[in-house]
Chain A
Amino acid sequence: MTKKKITQHPLFLPLVCVLLVLAVNVIYDISQGNGIFNFFITTIENGVLQGRLITILNRGSEVAILAIGMTLVVSASAGTDISVGSVMSLCASFCCMLVAGYGVSAVSSPEEFSMPLIVGILGALLMGCLCGAFNGTLVAYLNIQPMVATLILWSAARAIGLLLCNNLIVYVRVPEYGIFGGYIGFLPTPILIAAVCILAVSLVLKKTAMGMYIQSVGINKKASRIAGLNSRRIIFICYLLCGLCAGIAGLVNSSRITSADSNNIGLNMELDAILAVALGGNSLGGGKFNLAGSIIGAYTIQAITTTMYNLGISSAVTPVFKAVVVIVIVAIQAPPVRIWFQKLRAQNHKEVARV
């Protein structure tokens, strides 16, 4: 009986995934003749934290931030926002355009901001909200299927970003700009930003009734309306927040490379974010959600990516594995497969009873 209870815990699936990834890493270390727990060794070199674990936490920040927004969107509207990667890129480009000045080419990379950094940051976040509001309007008020609605920005946002940057990779060679992707003291800033985002959203979910509203709308829109919730507005807010998260993630990513590389920032990130939600044990069919699961899912994905990199697999190939994982997870949740499993279990029970 207790065994059954463990598998039913909401964090069971994500934690199993984490353990699997860790196991692969440990086996890899052993086969390479490294220390068994090489993976976990964290040192301070040149005044900053180093180690593979830290790398995963650091690099996984963007996916973790995106996963927050994606979790809310999936829960409320039973659809996913596939524009997050492109919106990241757009926000990064917009920020760089603001602080570097429009029309600045890569060659004349500026040594100082043409506008205060804070304007750039606010601009990027505002742009994220704007994109989110666009998606939200289409989904909540015009009743367009979420994925079709977000398809528009998925294609257009990156192109608009390119336009803003004059079709170039804009470098911002001011040290302050790199701080969001760099270090504060000995701690990598992205980890801090992700932590702040996670804390803020958890706090909102804990201190307001938003979490219940979102789940309620996601589970039963009609009943929620009768009970006095404004279903459309709640869905809209979720998309808005998802856009904001994409904006923050875009800033972090852009700061990491101190430039706006429109073609590569946030590339394939939407898959990672959706995968994080699915790995976190959340149903892509909407309804109940578990933010902690999604966050663990996000870092798991980063761990997979990093591990594959360590194993010498090209980063262009990793989508193959991720795609297979997505399909397997979704297939397990699919109604016909569930019914099939139930039948199988019932048959087993019968056989046991007969014996």
Chain B
Amino acid sequence: MNPENTLKQRKEINGNTLLLLITIVLFVVLYAGGCIAYSGKGFTNLQTFLNILISNAGLICVACGMTCVMLTGGIDISVGSLVALDCMLLAYGMGNWGIGAPAMCLIVLVVGLVFGFVQGFCVGYLQIQPFIVTMAGMFFARGMTAVISTDQLSITAETSQTFYDWANFRIYLPFGGVANRQGKIIMPYFRIGVVVAILILILIFLVLRYTKFGRSLYAVGGSEQSAAMMGLDVKKTKLKAYVLSSFLCSIGGICYCLNTQSASVAQASGLEMDAIASSVIGGTLLTGGVGNVIGSFFGVLINGTISSIVQTNGKLASAWPNILTAALLCFFIVLQSIFAFLKEKKK
């Protein structure tokens, strides 16, 4: 191959992965900035990073599902409400119906599957705009949460000993310990939710890369018409994507609940925004066909770092993470739009 050709190709590789690169750089800069600004407040500790993972374990699962849906060119804004519904089901089911934690988790997962199936059917087979469908889903799930209970519930050892144990189980790292005020060395730790989230992340990464279903998500997002012409079942693929999203969202809901150990109607409001922002920031195109869960993972980390910085600062209003996430989302959306325009012009 002649040198001119290779050069041209290298340039184009950069164009494709530029968004992901920007994301990783952004994360490193943000985190390093946090470390420099708040080194006195323990931001440099490994535990701070693990805490970001712990509090965002649920979001990682949800973002994985969101990425799958967005790959097909759709969107799912029902996830935040579904997480709230999951938490409420868990808390109320274990506390008031006396169902065991494992059984309750199973119920939550089934609810997720059914919810996703209905949404997927409306999008895939009835060809309704995904946004309208999932917006209705969002209000439906939020309303159902209120139907179960409008109280603020918390999950204690009395509610369910098993769940309580899961939630408080710590997995220590064998290194990176830091001495506390009494001089005792405390090893950095993470929780079960993180393990689940990382497993999901790896699993979805493999599914997207190595299975027919994963590749058909990309194909449908790239060009629906072409995908159909090449013999893929577009409707079924879309249905599966929404089922997967809601299912992962339910797993994320359990992780979320393990972290908060509480449930209320207003819980996880705005989570859909974080998930969409994470995916978009991570290089998933809103028009579909391009994206990767690894990118979304970094998107989540950026999100988590922002909240962590705002928390560590202590003086900034709690509204800031929301605004910053939205600003980042806006920035990346405009960036995508400009990229698309340039691509079009090049042709």
Contact = CB atoms under 8 A, between A and B. Distances in A.
A152 B326 contact: yes
A327 B146 contact: no
Given A268-B139, A319-B142, A327 B122 contact: yes
B327 A331 contact: no
A335 B122 CA distance: 12
A316 B127 contact: no
Given A142-B337, A324-B140, A151 B276 contact: yes
Given A151-B276, A155-B326, A331 B122 contact: yes
Contact of A336 (B126, B137, B139): B126
A322 B146 CA distance: 14
Q: Is the interface of B mostly helix, strand, loop or mixed?
A: helix
A159 B323 contact: yes
Contacts of A148: 75, 286, 333
A166 B129 CA distance: 38
Contact of B127 (A158, A162, A334): A334
B307 interface: no
B207 interface: no
Interface in B300-340: 317-320, 322-323, 325-327, 329-330, 333-334, 337-338, 340
Contacts of A326: 132, 135-136
A320 B143 contact: yes
Given A144-B333, A152-B333, A334-B126, A162 B319 contact: yes
A314 B150 contact: yes
Contact of B286 (A144, A166, A322): A144
Which of B140, B273, B338 is the most central at the interface, judged by chain A CB atoms within 10 Å of its CB?
B140
Contact of B128 (A268, A320, A334): A334
B85 to A, nearest CB: 11
A160 interface: yes
A163 B140 contact: no
A118 interface: no
A316 B75 contact: no
A297 to B, nearest CB: 16
Contact of B323 (A145, A163, A318, A323): A163
Q: Is the interface of A mostly helix, strand, loop or mixed?
A: helix
B251 interface: no
Interface string B144-163: 10110010000000000000
Contacts of B286: 144-145, 148
Contacts, number: 128
A149 interface: yes
A271 B125 CA distance: 23
A262 to B, nearest CB: 8
Interface in A296-355: 314, 316-324, 326-327, 330-331, 334-337
Nearest to B340: A143
A261 to B, nearest CB: 14
A156 B146 contact: no
Contacts of A318: 143
A167 B317 contact: yes
A152 B330 contact: yes
Contacts of B340: 143
Contact of B143 (A144, A151, A319, A330): A319
B323 A156 contact: yes
Contacts of B147: 317, 320
B133 A327 contact: yes
A337 B139 contact: no
B233 to A, nearest CB: 15
Contacts of B319: 159-160, 162-163, 167
A268 B141 CA distance: 13
Interface string A94-125: 00000000000000000000000000000000
A138 interface: yes
9 contacts: A138-B334, A155-B273, A268-B139, A314-B150, A319-B140, A320-B140, A320-B144, A320-B147, A323-B138
Interface of A: 79-80, 82, 138, 142-145, 147-149, 151-156, 158-160, 162-163, 166-167, 268, 271, 274, 284, 314, 316-324, 326-327, 330-331, 334-337
Closest 4 CB pairs of A and B: A320-B143, A316-B146, A156-B326, A159-B322
